[in-house]
Amino acid sequence: MEKQPRLLSSQLFLKNSVFEVSLNRVILTWKEIPTKNKRVSGNIHHPFKIGTSHSVSVSEILAVQELDLESGTKDDGRWQKMSQKPTEAYPYAFTVSYVRRARKHRWRCTDVTFFCPEWALCQQWVQTIKEQLAELTSRPKHLLVYINPYGGKQQGTCIYEQKVAPLFARASISTDVIVTEHANHARDHLRTVAELKQYDGVVCVGGDGMFSEIVHGLVSRTQKDNGVDQNSPEEKLVACSLRIGIIPAGSTDCICYGTVGINDPVTSALHIIVGDSQPMDVCSVHHNKTFLKYSVSLLGYGFYGDVLADSERKRWMGPARYDFSGFKTFLTHHYYEGTVSFQPATDTLGTPRDKSPCRAGCLTCLHNRQQYSEDSSDKYKTDTDFSDSENEGGWRVIRGKFLAINAASMSCACPRSPKGLSPAAHLADGTTDLILVRKCSRFNFLRHLIRHTSKDDQFDMTFVEVHRVRRFRFLPRHCQNDSEQDLRENGKRLFGQICRDHPARGCSPAFSSWNCDGEILPHAAIEVGVHCQLIKLFARGIEEPPVFEDVAATCAI
């Protein structure tokens, strides 16, 4: 890294020792100056403990504040007692609040207080650090916050007020807070009346459903403002300029887990404050040239659609409904016939079978984003006259009986399934991983499901195939010539008809439902296109754990 010129360097007092403290544009360091006694004993007994050195990246400093040693420190509008006694030689002090990495991707806010011999020096430090922070233009200053008071364990408001708002205040971020009053309140507000120009980002306090509302509101508003027709599947959508922050307060918080590595409100708040930016792909889902929904994580037909449809009918069971419906759906073992057509992602780095997952600063996403920009304009427009042959115009067509058809636009990892549905899927490479699970025995399907939680490759099975794609379509067998005015009615009719016609067939219904990021779609025949990096999150992707954490974990084993 290029050596940065020093902005300030002083000997300051901290925790009973004098430290050499220095600041450049990138880093603040403080290194203990060894005293004579310590040096002697250190050389003999603790050669590595002497002169302990700490450093913090300027981009991860939240705030700096001068302390009033007479009466305490003014923090978040409240006066607090000094925890450290000043010495006579160092009567002035300032506190730097910064991000400390804790275990398992957790971030915490830590304070360090430096004592200065002179008032002017103290002022100079505070001023210089403030100037450096002011130059970090990616940091938000004014945010629009939506809180779902009913998400997860109904703790959204409390989580925001107790854990997040004090951190925002400390970092001098102002907010306009809206507690939602009904479902789709946030989506509709964003889409219509929100004065977006005055904000640097939108924050949702809730779960994946609430995040989906924000995505729909923001993406729709951006298209409306730019005159883009969402109903046209071929239309290239305009990327949203505002970043989205997620404070996890839902039941699963899959998106937060997959973009930060942990569901922890304080960690997420700190990622927002430091102004992180993680682009994300968004899939648009259309039926019959009509826009249905956007999806950022999972589109699942068959198994995952059936589990969701069944669990929706059992809301009274609480979170246990997912286990119950999952088990029930596994036992029913329905398969669905249809045609899947897809446009494979060629010229892209990476495959769904890669061993390395998408991580912070992912080079695959960076490379594929460039590739996408270069060739998306023609690819998006050439396939409107798509025909149903085996390999036409770069499209592949597969007909069959499927237990599950899943499109994972990210790994879909969550605390329950840390690997996720497609462990090597990327957050922002302009593709989705299309996983086709063909009809097989219950035993084999169980083996496939179990592999999602083990180290074994869930795609290494004869009845499973996975393709990295830019677009795909699905047409259920029994409605290929159907206008599908009411899928569910047709499904019921066909289901009855098929059962009458083929009593020995096991009575698999003709249609499943699409599970679109946890919501049921009203149609089975859909067309899906991936829009590369359409949105940005206040996140940085999952960071590789520091080496010492790995070593510690290995030692623990």
Ligand X SMILES: Nc1ncnc2c1ncn2[C@@H]1O[C@H](COP(=O)(O)OP(=O)(O)OP(=O)(O)O)[C@@H](O)[C@H]1O
The catalytic site residues sit at 208
x-marked contacts with ligand X along 233-262 as a string, rule CB under 6 A: -----------------xxxx---------
Report which residue's Cβ sits closest to ligand X.
Answer: 207
Task: Give the strand pairing for 432-438 and 278-287.
Answer: unpaired
The residue range among 115-123, 150-158, 357-365, 499-507 that interacts with ligand X, by the rule CB under 6 A, is 150-158
Looking at beta carbons only, is 209 or 233 nearer to ligand X?
209
Looking at beta carbons only, is 66 or 213 nearer to ligand X?
213
Q: Does 150 bind ligand X (CB under 6 A)?
A: yes
Looking at beta carbons only, is 206 or 338 nearer to ligand X?
206
Indicate the helix (H) or strand (E) that contains 199: none
Closest distance of CB 353 from ligand X, Å: 29
The residue range among 49-57, 88-96, 134-142, 208-216 that interacts with ligand X, by the rule CB under 6 A, is 208-216
Closest distance of CB 215 from ligand X, Å: 12
Q: Sign (positive/negative) of CA torsion 481, 483, 487, 491?
A: negative
The 10 Å CB-count burial string (b at 16+, else e) for 178-206 is eebeeeebbbbbbbeebebeebbbbbbbb
The owner of tokens 């505070």 is 126
Looking at beta carbons only, is 73 or 311 nearer to ligand X?
311
Q: How many CA atoms lie within 13 A of 552 on its CB side?
A: 8
Residue 448 near residue 435, CB atoms below 8 Å: no
Looking at beta carbons only, is 88 or 181 nearer to ligand X?
181
Q: Does 300 bind ligand X (CB under 6 A)?
A: no
Looking at beta carbons only, is 32 or 208 nearer to ligand X?
208
| # chain residues binding ligand X, by CB under 6 A | 22
Q: Does 264 bind ligand X (CB under 6 A)?
A: no
Looking at beta carbons only, is 40 or 183 nearer to ligand X?
183
x-marked contacts with ligand X along 163-182 as a string, rule CB under 6 A: -----------------xxx
Q: Which one of residues 34, 151, 258, 305 is an interface residue with ligand X (CB under 6 A)?
A: 151
Looking at beta carbons only, is 185 or 540 nearer to ligand X?
185
Q: Which residues contact 477 (CB under 8 A, 6 or more apart)?
A: 337, 338, 339, 399, 510
The residue range among 77-85, 193-201, 205-213, 331-339 that interacts with ligand X, by the rule CB under 6 A, is 205-213
The residue range among 144-152, 166-174, 380-388, 467-475 that interacts with ligand X, by the rule CB under 6 A, is 144-152
Q: At what angle do helices 320-332 and 442-450 cross, to 10 degrees?
A: 140
The residue range among 20-28, 109-117, 206-214, 494-502 that interacts with ligand X, by the rule CB under 6 A, is 206-214
Binding to ligand X in span 179-198, by CB under 6 A: 180-185
Q: Does 206 bind ligand X (CB under 6 A)?
A: yes
Segment 104-108 long-range contacts (CB within 8 Å, at least 24 positions apart): 104/261, 104/262, 104/545, 105/260, 105/261, 105/262, 105/267, 105/542, 105/543, 105/545, 106/262, 106/264, 106/266, 106/267, 107/264, 107/266, 107/267, 107/270, 107/271, 108/266, 108/267, 108/270
Closest distance of CB 180 from ligand X, Å: 4
Closest distance of CB 455 from ligand X, Å: 27
Closest distance of CB 251 from ligand X, Å: 4
Residue 467 near residue 432, CB atoms below 8 Å: no
x-marked contacts with ligand X along 101-140 as a string, rule CB under 6 A: ----------------------------------------
The residue range among 130-138, 202-210, 217-225, 422-430 that interacts with ligand X, by the rule CB under 6 A, is 202-210
x-marked contacts with ligand X along 473-512 as a string, rule CB under 6 A: ----------------------------------------
Closest distance of CB 216 from ligand X, Å: 10
Q: Which one of residues 518, 534, 535, 537 is an interface residue with ligand X (CB under 6 A)?
A: 518
Conformational region of residue 533, where left means phi above 0, alpha means psi within -120 to 50, and beta covers everything else: left
| Distance between start and end Cα atoms, the chain | 36
Looking at beta carbons only, is 207 or 423 nearer to ligand X?
207
The full DSSP string for 46-108 is -TTTTT-EEEEEGGGEEEEEEEBTTTBEEETTEEE--SSPPBTTB-EEEEEEEEEE-STT-EE
Closest distance of CB 207 from ligand X, Å: 2
Closest distance of CB 517 from ligand X, Å: 8
Looking at beta carbons only, is 250 or 350 nearer to ligand X?
250
Residue 56 near residue 98, CB atoms below 8 Å: yes
Under DSSP, is residue 155 helix (H, G, I), strand (E, B) or coil? coil
Task: Give the strand pairing for 142-147 and 201-206.
Answer: parallel
- DSSP state, residue 162: I
Closest distance of CB 157 from ligand X, Å: 11
Q: Does 209 bind ligand X (CB under 6 A)?
A: yes
C-alpha span between 215 and 173 (Å, rounded): 22
Q: Taking CA 541 as the corner, what is the angle to CA 535 and CA 547, rounded to the nearest 5 degrees? A: 170
Q: Taking CA 200 as the corner, what is the angle to CA 153 and CA 197, rounded to the nearest 5 degrees? A: 115
Q: Which one of residues 59, 148, 267, 508 is an interface residue with ligand X (CB under 6 A)?
A: 148
C-alpha span between 305 and 309 (Å, rounded): 6
Q: Does 527 bind ligand X (CB under 6 A)?
A: no
C-alpha span between 306 and 74 (Å, rounded): 55
Task: Return the structure tokens found at 189.
Answer: 């507000």
The owner of tokens 């520091």 is 546
C-alpha span between 485 and 522 (Å, rounded): 10
Q: Does 210 bind ligand X (CB under 6 A)?
A: yes
Closest distance of CB 153 from ligand X, Å: 8
| Residues engaged in binding ligand X (CB under 6 A) | 148-152, 180-185, 206-210, 213, 250-253, 518
